[in-house]
């Protein structure tokens, strides 16, 4: 059969789990809030998985050899405090269903779910739930009004043409106990379905969301194949434990299978493995993943994040099911959005979106508080999860794909020196003495503690436009004065202004300044100065 992974996302209490329940034919062991804590609190706390199947839609029959289309539903939590789980769940889906409460409309986590969807999938449909809670006499007008708002919001996203289906998956008793609009929803899902891209030739990568032991059989790891394929008797690795195990058996929603490919939801059974050592994680082909202590990404700011993104600040970084704190260092290029160690990059104090004609390409160095396992081109999402969860501000700040990383614990000595990230420095001095048309003495450009010899040979510019070069130290090395020479004669007007009072400069409001600009690499231990 053809399998599509469908994420069900939305604000807490919008009816996501109820929707999954009425649609599903088969449930996994973790579906429908079976977790005792979920039942106690009355909200979804973990990812839930279930499935249902329909005959292959006509528009897909010529594109696949399958007769059956299976929808694997990924029921994600909606509470603000569980956004890490939502992000992890969204990275294993092919498309998403956004559930919106017809009475409350778009809420804070609804907007965050749209952002997550934009980062992780290309297609979305909207389910407008709880329509039975609107007075029947006013329902048509009310639904038209809320749909207009939803379409207006989606015009700013990639989901401009997302279909909207009206439902009441769990109607109140005084209306009807049978779900409203379910047939229309399944029909829309059928028409909306597509054949996703699947690559079974890449190395095996599997996102584990639950792990448990079965007496007499072994340990079962349930999850989704992110890339490649797996078969019985294959050797797989648990990277964070540095162990390998042989695949004993495979099941897809309680059906034994021999092999599975990218996109399939399955349980992998292995032996001699303690299930208490794993919760959410990644397993893979041996030696596929690397432990990263820091990494580089091209940074893309999420437009709904209104707080500042500054160098040396800390953000939560989500990679698959893992979320870790990291300190960021920002840098940019006007030339290329492709990173190359051979290129120089400007250090940035803050991410500032400029006018289109001044567009910069921003990059970020992420230093993880704890090392994490990564794969090249992995999606990383940066968030401020310590923001007030009861506020109405978006906490998702930026995203990017992994470009480079260091697996060396001593990455500051091994990785940092390869980064040509510079700060632009400016010094302003004054002319102390006019010697002749090609020589002047400059003061106040350096303080007494500066090592002036490091600046010899650098170019300077007068505020009147002439270009010169720092030739030598003038007088005692502690006075900070230098001799500046010019290859061309100074302008006549400049000479007239400087030659007053026997070469000594008279302090006026029209003083001629001496400007020195240079660059220093922020990770260069030698403090080399360049222009």
CA distance 447 to 480: 6
pLDDT of residue 139: 92
Answer for the pair 449, 507: CB distance below 8 angstroms, yes or no. no
Residue 394: pLDDT band with limits 50, 70, 90: confident
- From 64, 282, 351, 371, select the one nearest 193 (Cα to Cα): 64
Residue 28 has pLDDT above 90, yes or no: no
Task: State the pLDDT at residue 415.
Answer: 97
Q: What is the pLDDT of residue 500?
A: 61
pLDDT at 84: 66
pLDDT of amino acid 88: 65
**What pLDDT, in 10s, does the model give residues 92-109?**
889 999 999 999 999 888
The gap between the terminal CA atoms of the chain, to the nearest Å, is 63
* Interval 197-234: pLDDT, tens: 888 899 999 989 889 999 989 999 999 999 999 999 99
Instruction: State residue 280's pLDDT score.
Output: 79
Mean pLDDT value of segment 126-151: 94
320 falls in which pLDDT band (50, 70, 90)?
confident
Query: What pLDDT band is residue 355 in, cutting at 50, 70 and 90?
Result: low
> Mean per-residue pLDDT for 238-243?
93
pLDDT band at 386 (very low <50, low <70, confident <90, very high): confident
Task: Give dist(CA 81, CA 234) in Å, integer.
Answer: 38
* pLDDT at residue number 39: 41
Residue 183: is it exposed, middle or buried by C-beta count within 10 angstroms (0-12/13-18/19+)?
exposed
Which range (29-33, 189-193, 338-342, 472-476) has the least confidence?
29-33
pLDDT above 90 (res 91): no
Q: Which of 23-37, 60-74, 99-113 has the lowest mean pLDDT?
A: 23-37
Looking at residue 177, the DSSP 8-state letter turns out to be S
Ordered structural domains, the chain, with CATH: 2-192 (3.40.50.300), 205-284 (2.40.30.10), 290-417 (2.40.30.10), 422-530 (2.40.10.190)
| DSSP structure string for 12-27 | TTSSHHHHHHHH-SEE
The answer to whether the beta carbons of residues 6 and 71 sit under 8 Å apart is yes
Across residues 96-124, what is the average pLDDT? 91
Please tell me the distance from the alpha carbon of residue 477 to that of residue 90, in angstroms, as a whole number: 63
Q: Map residue 4 onto helix, strand or coil.
A: strand
Calculate the CA 422 to chain-centre distance.
24
Question: Taking residues 303-313, what's their average pLDDT?
Answer: 94
Q: What is the CA radius of gyration of the chain?
A: 31
Percent of the chain at pLDDT > 90 equals 64
Arithmetic mean of pLDDT, 313-341: 93
With beta carbons less than 8 A apart as the criterion, state whether 265 and 5 touch.
yes
pLDDT bucket at 451, cuts 50 / 70 / 90: confident
pLDDT of the residue at 34: 46
Distance from C-alpha of 259 to C-alpha of 233, rounded to nearest angstrom: 10
> What is the strand order of the sheet 124-129 is part of?
26-27, 48-55, 68-75, 2-10, 95-101, 124-129, 164-166
Mean pLDDT for the chain overall: 88
What is the per-residue pLDDT across 171-200, written as a single tens digit (0 to 9) for each?
A: 875 555 789 999 999 999 999 999 998 888
Model confidence at 26, pLDDT cuts 50, 70, 90, reads confident
Tokens of 155: 């015009």
- Choose between 89 and 233: higher pLDDT: 233
Provide the pLDDT confidence category of residue 425 given band limits of 50, 70 and 90: very high
Residue 514 has pLDDT above 60, yes or no: yes
Band the pLDDT of 38: cuts 50, 70, 90.
very low
Q: Is the pLDDT of residue 323 over 50?
A: yes
């Amino acid at each position: 059969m053809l399998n599509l992974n469908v994420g069900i996302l939305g604000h807490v209490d919008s009816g996501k789990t109820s929707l999954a329940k009425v649609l599903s034919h088969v449930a996994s062991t973790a579906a429908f809030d079976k977790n005792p804590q979920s039942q106690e609190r009355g909200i979804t706390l973990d990812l839930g998985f279930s499935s249902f199947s329909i005959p292959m839609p006509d528009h897909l029959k010529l594109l696949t050899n399958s007769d059956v289309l299976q929808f694997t539903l990924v029921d994600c939590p909606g509470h603000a405090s569980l956004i890490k789980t939502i992000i992890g769940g969204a990275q294993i889906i092919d498309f998403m269903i956004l559930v919106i409460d017809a009475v409350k409309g778009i809420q804070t986590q609804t907007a965050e779910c749209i952002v997550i969807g934009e980062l992780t999938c290309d297609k979305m449909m909207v389910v407008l739930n709880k329509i039975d809670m609107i007075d029947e006499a006013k329902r048509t007008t009310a639904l038209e009004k809320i749909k207009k708002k939803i379409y207006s919001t989606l015009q700013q996203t990639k989901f401009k043409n997302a279909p909207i289906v009206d439902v009441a998956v769990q109607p109140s008793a005084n209306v009807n106990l049978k779900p409203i609009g379910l047939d229309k929803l399944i029909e829309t899902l059928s028409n909306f379905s597509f054949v996703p891209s699947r690559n079974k030739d890449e190395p095996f990568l599997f996102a584990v969301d639950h792990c448990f032991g079965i007496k007499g059989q072994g340990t079962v790891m349930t999850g989704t194949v992110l890339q490649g394929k797996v078969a019985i008797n294959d050797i797989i690795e648990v990277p964070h434990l540095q162990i390998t195990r042989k695949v004993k058996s495979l099941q897809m929603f309680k059906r034994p299978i021999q092999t599975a490919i990218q996109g399939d939801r399955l349980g992998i059974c292995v032996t001699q493995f303690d299930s208490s050592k794993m919760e959410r994680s990644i397993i893979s082909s041996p030696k596929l993943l690397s432990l990263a202590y820091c990494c580089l990404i091209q940074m893309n700011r999420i437009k709904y994040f209104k707080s500042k993104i500054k160098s040396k600040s800390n953000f939560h970084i989500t990679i698959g099911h893992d979320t870790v704190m990291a300190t960021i260092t920002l840098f940019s290029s006007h030339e290329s959005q492709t990173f190359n160690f051979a290129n120089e990059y400007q250090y940035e104090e803050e991410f500032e979106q400029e006018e289109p004609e001044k567009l910069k390409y921003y990059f970020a160095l992420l230093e993880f508080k704890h090392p994490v396992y990564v794969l090249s081109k992995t999606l990383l999402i940066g968030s401020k999860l310590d923001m007030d969860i009861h506020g109405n501000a978006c906490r998702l700040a930026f995203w990017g794909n992994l470009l480079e990383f260091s697996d060396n614990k001593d990455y500051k000595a091994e990785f940092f020196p390869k980064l040509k990230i510079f700060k632009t420095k400016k010094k302003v001095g004054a002319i102390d003495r006019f010697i002749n048309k090609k020589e002047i003495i400059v003061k106040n450009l350096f303080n007494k503690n500066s090592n002036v010899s490091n600046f010899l040979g650098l170019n300077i510019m007068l505020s009147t436009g002439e270009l010169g070069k720092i030739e030598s130290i003038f007088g005692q090395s502690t006075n900070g004065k230098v001799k500046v020479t010019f290859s061309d004669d100074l302008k006549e007007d400049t000479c007239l202004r400087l030659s007053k009072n026997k070469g000594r400069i008279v302090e006026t409001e029209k003083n001629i300044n001496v400007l020195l600009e240079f660059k220093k690499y922020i990770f260069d231990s030698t403090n080399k100065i360049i222009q």
